[in-house]
Structure 1
Amino acid sequence: MVDLTSAGKAGILFGYCPQQDALDELLTGWEHLQYYCSLRGIPRQYIPEVAADLVRRLHLESHVDKPVATYSGGTRRKLSTALALVGKPDILLLDEPSSGMDPCSKRYLWQTITQEVRDGCAAVLTSHSMEECEALCTRLAIMVDGSFRCLGPPQHIKNRRHCALICSDKSSEEKMIAGSRQSLEEK
């Protein structure tokens, strides 16, 4: 277990992608990446290379020179994830990382996160998307009103709860979630 208060002293680096993007509307993607690279202590001569790698991996090439104010919600999420990945963190905390992304962008994001995990990074993800959880998680916890109701591999959770959450629109998703919540509370 990691004691978060002493993690920095132990040399453990965290990457954090908040649900609400913490981006400066006036800066470009490049400027954000350069700033975060500097904060992470990446030597100045390597910053362009590190930033370019993240831009390539998250498919930000056509946006990176524009002010963040012009970005779509999905592009903001990609930049926020790129910032969380600066410096190769040991632990990655991701809150709804693919929210607002088109399906193709989600796949690239998921590939990037999966590669980070393969390279030894631990990832903690919060999501309302079962599809995202299945793509990224080896263990899944379902919470209802702040309490864990289920814990285990995604397939185990689906088998135990006899469900697969696949919705085509927001209102269907909300109805399914409400029904699932009621079912969990009854058990």
Structure 2
Amino acid sequence: MPSVFTHAAVPLALWCASERGRISARLLGAGVAAAMLPDADVLAFALHIPYADAFGHRGASHSLLFAAVLGLVACALSPWLRASRVQAAAFVSACALSHPLLDAFTSGGLGVALWWPWSEQRLFAPWRPIRVSPFANNFFSARGLQTVLSELRWVWLPLFSCVLGWKLVQHRAPTDQTSP
């Protein structure tokens, strides 16, 4: 898995790329929480649930269904999130889905159960450049530093480039759309 900090990169990038005020602070917070929440399944280790179990690490909480459920919760909370129902559901679902997609690009683990409950097969991306993050007790180590550098290269830098490119395109777009 990428570190918990890197899972927050996608909602932050979407917020940076959007027009000022388009994504409220509350909606951004919900998106960041949704992007990080799937890793709460590490509690399964303390409950002696095997890693490969449907409710183990990278199992059900890393599925399309889980992202959709979080989107429905956001839809219900949309007035509090200061967003339309569609915007809240789409943003939170996309942020939650970014988590298993990033995990699928990592160099370790058992893959992600993206299609749970329809399939318990664990999937990886065909290309896996992101170093898998060590758990908390080993994060501040040489391996943890290598993980951070890998995440900067393969997640943060591409997202920054996309946001910068989007902002440049938006800045150069003509503002007067009136036709003769």
TM-score exceeds 0.5: no
TM-score of the superposed pair, with normalisation by structure 2: 0.27
Identify, as 1 or 2, the structure richer in strand.
Answer: 1
Instruction: Answer 1 or 2: higher relative contact order, Cα 8 Å, separation at least 6.
Output: 2
TM-score of the superposed pair, with normalisation by structure 1: 0.26
